[in-house]
Chains A and B, each alone.
Chain A
Amino acid sequence: MSAITLRSVVKRYGSVEVVHGIDLDVEEGEFVVLLGPSGCGKTTTLRMVAGLEDVSDGELSIGGRRVNEVAPKDRGVAMVFQNYALYPHMTVRQNMEFALRPLSLDAAEVDRRIRDAAGILGLGELLARKPAQLSGGQRQRVAMGRAMVRTPDVFLFDEPLSNLDAKLRTQVRLEIGKLHNRLGTTVLYVTHDQVEAMTLADKIVIMQNGHIEQVGTPEEVYAHPDNMFVASFIGSPSMNMIPARHEGGRLRADGLDLTVPTRFEGRLSEGQETVIGVRPTGLRCAEPGAADAVVARVEVTEFLGNEALLDIRIGDHELIAEIPAAGRPAPGDAVHLTFDPVAIHLFDPQTGATLSR
C-alpha cells in the first residue's frame, strides 16, 4: 500500500490551472523529493497533500484513505515550513507541546516524546528559549522537532533549507538524511536545489509548469533523463545541447562530425534532426588525429581544484567541458576533444523526448 497516492490531481485558481492532472505514488518509508524551478507547482502539490490547498480535481489518498475532503488536522501529516513558522509567543518546549495537544496524550508521554526529539536534534539546552532567541539553524531544528514529536505517518518538508547559509545547509541536509534513516517515516520534500534532491532522495519527481517530467532514482534521472528539460535541469554545469542532423550514419553539426553511438543505430532515419546532449564530463581532451576528434577553441578556463571547466567553442556552439585541472589548456588555445559515446544522449528537437527508448 502506498503512503501517498495522487491520481490525476488538478489544482486551479479560478480559471488558471497550475497543476495539470499529475499521478504519483509515494511508497511507505520512501524519501521522495519534488524538484523543479520556481512556479512549477511543487509547493502547491505539497500543500494539497497537507490539506492547506483544496484539490480541484482528481483523487488524493494518504495511507489508502481518500483525503480530498479531510481537514489538515485529521490527515496524520506533519509539516516543516520554509520559514519554520514557529509560534513566537511559546518556548521551544511549548511549541512541541502545542503540536502534541490535539493527540491528548498523558503528561509523561508528552514529556518522553519531547525529550526524545530534543535528544535526537540536540535541542536539550534550548527548550526554555523562545524562537526569537534562536539562530536560523536552531529554529530549523525546532521546526523539525515539532513535526517529529507527533510521530506522523508522513513528513512534509517545504524548502526547509532555503533560509540557511551554505555551510549550515549542508549540515542540516545531512541531519535530515540521518533522521529519515533513523525514523523510516515517509517523506515528501520540496526543493528547487538539485543537490538536496540528489543527496536525500530515494526517488526524485521532476516538475515543470504543473506537469511531472520524470520520476526516478537520482541515478536514473541523472544518467537516463527522459527529456531535454530533465537533462538540462539535473547536473551542474548543465548538459551541453547541440542541434544536429543524422546523415549517412553520422551526426553532423557545425564543426562536428560524430559516429552514431551503437545503441542509437536503427533509431534514426536518414536526414533526421536531433539534439545531441552531452554532459561536461563526457568531453575528453584527445591527441590530434584521434577518431571523431573535433577542434575546439578555449575561451575561458575556470579552475575548481581537481577539475577545471573550459568554456569552449565548436563551430558556432558554445559548450562547457569538465577536465582534470592538471595540464588544462589556456584561454585562446585550440584543443582536440572527443565525445564519450556512452555519455551521448539524443533528443527529439520537437518533443524534447529522449531517443534512447
Chain B
Amino acid sequence: MNKPSTQQAIFVYTLLGIALIVFLTPIYLIASSSVKPSPIMFQRPPAMLFEPTFEHYRDLFAMRPFGKFIMNSLVVALGSTAFSVFFGSIAAYAISRIKHKRMNDIAFWILSMRMFPPIAVVVPYYIIFKTAGLLDTPLALIIVYSTANIPLTVWLMKGFFDEVPSALEEAAAVDGHGLISIFWRVTLPLAAPGLAVSAVFCFIFSWNEFLFALMLTGSEAQTATVAVMSFWSSDAVQWGRIMAGSFVILIPGVVFVLTCQRWLVRGLTMGSVK
C-alpha cells in the first residue's frame, strides 16, 4: 500500500477524532460527575474546574452493599460466559465437522433463539423460576443469559472452526490421537481468537443486561446495573451515586476485554499448511 498523503491523513484523523468524541464524551461525563460536589452538579454552563470529591463513592459503598452487587454481577457474567463458551464451542465443533444435510437447519434453529424480544419471555421466565425456586438467585440469570450467549458463541466458533484446516486434524489422527485429544490440543488452540471474541461478547452482554436482572432478582442476587437504578427513587435522583456506580461498573468490562485482547490475534494458523 502507498503511504497515505497528508490530505488522507488529515481526513482519517478527523474521522477518528469525531468518533473518539462521540464515544468518550459520555464516559467523561460519568467520570467527572462522579467526583463533582452535589451543589454544582447541574450548574450551567457545566463546571469544568472544581475540587473533586469522593463522597459519592463513599456513599455508594457505605450506604448500600454495592460491593455485593458487583460480586453478583461478576458471578453471573463469568458464570454465563464460562458455561456458554464451553458448551457453545462443543456444539459449534459438531456443527462445523459433521456433514449432514439438516445441519444448516440446526444451526439456524440455534440462532433463532436470539430472535425473540426479551420482554416477551420475561413473564414465562418469572413463572418458571418462581416454580423452580430459583428467583433471586445468580443461577437464574446465568441460565437466562446463556440462552442468549450460547447461540452467539455457536455461530462465532463455527466460523473459526471452519477455518482450521482439516488436514491438521487428519495429521493428528494419524499421529495416534483420538477425537478429544485432537479437539483439545489442536483445533481449540487454533480457534483461540474465536474463544476470546466469544468470551468478550458473552461477558459484556451478561454484565450490561438490565431487564432480566430487574425482573428476576430481588435484594439477594441483584446485579450492579439494577442496583445503580435504585438510586433513582420517587423522592430524589441521587445523580452523584448513580455516576459513581456507573463508573465502577465500567471497570470490570474494560479489564476483561484487555485480558482477552492478547488472544485476539490474527494469523494463528499461518505456516500450518503450505
Contacts and interface: CB of A to CB of B under 8 A. Distances in A.
B114 interface: no
Interface string B230-274: 000000000000000000000000000000000000011111111
A87 interface: yes
- Complex A-B, nearest 6 residue pairs according to Cβ-Cβ distance, in ascending order: A132-B271, A102-B176, A131-B271, A83-B273, A88-B272, A85-B171
Interface residues of B, number: 25
A85 B273 contact: yes
B174 A72 contact: yes
Interface of A: 50-52, 71-75, 77-79, 81, 83-89, 98-99, 101-103, 130-134, 136, 139, 146, 150, 156, 163
A39 B170 CA distance: 20
B167 A146 contact: no
21 contacts: A71-B178, A73-B177, A77-B174, A81-B171, A81-B273, A83-B273, A85-B167, A85-B272, A86-B272, A87-B171, A88-B269, A88-B271, A88-B272, A99-B175, A99-B176, A102-B175, A102-B177, A102-B181, A131-B271, A132-B270, A150-B176
Contacts of B167: 81, 83, 85
Contacts of B171: 79, 81, 85-87, 146
A89 B268 contact: yes
A37 to B, nearest CB: 22
Nearest to B182: A73
Contacts of B186: 87
A79 B167 CA distance: 11
Given A81-B167, A85-B168, A52 B272 contact: no
A133 B174 contact: no
Interface of B: 165, 167-168, 170-178, 181, 185-186, 189-190, 267-274
Nearest to A80: B171
Given A50-B170, A81-B167, A99-B175, 6 more contacts: A72-B170, A73-B173, A85-B170, A88-B168, A98-B172, A132-B270
B271 A51 contact: no
A146 B274 contact: no
Given A73-B178, A81-B167, A98-B185, A87 B173 contact: no
B163 to A, nearest CB: 12
Contacts of A79: 170-171, 174
A89 B184 CA distance: 13
A139 B186 CA distance: 18
A173 B175 CA distance: 23
Given A81-B167, A83-B165, A73 B174 contact: yes
A95 B139 CA distance: 42
B176 A87 contact: no
A163 to B, nearest CB: 6
Contacts of B173: 51-52, 71-73
Contacts of A72: 170, 173-174
A73 B180 CA distance: 13
A214 B274 CA distance: 32
Contacts of B170: 50, 52, 72, 79, 81, 85
A86 B168 CA distance: 7
Nearest to B274: A83
A78 B174 contact: yes
Given A83-B273, A84-B273, A89 B165 contact: no
B272 to A, nearest CB: 4
B189 to A, nearest CB: 5
A344 B190 CA distance: 58
A88 B270 contact: yes
B102 to A, nearest CB: 17
Contacts of A51: 173-174
A89 B190 contact: yes
A98 B175 contact: yes
Contacts of B177: 73, 98, 101-102
Nearest to A99: B175
A163 B274 contact: yes
Contact of B271 (A50, A78, A133): A133
A287 B139 CA distance: 100
A51 to B, nearest CB: 7
A134 B176 contact: no
Given A85-B168, A87-B168, A134 B271 contact: yes
A99 B171 CA distance: 9
A135 B272 CA distance: 12
Contact of A130 (B189, B271, B274): B271
A89 B189 contact: yes
B173 to A, nearest CB: 4
A79 B145 CA distance: 45
A285 B201 CA distance: 79
A103 B270 CA distance: 28
A78 B167 CA distance: 14
B190 A88 contact: yes
A353 B185 CA distance: 52
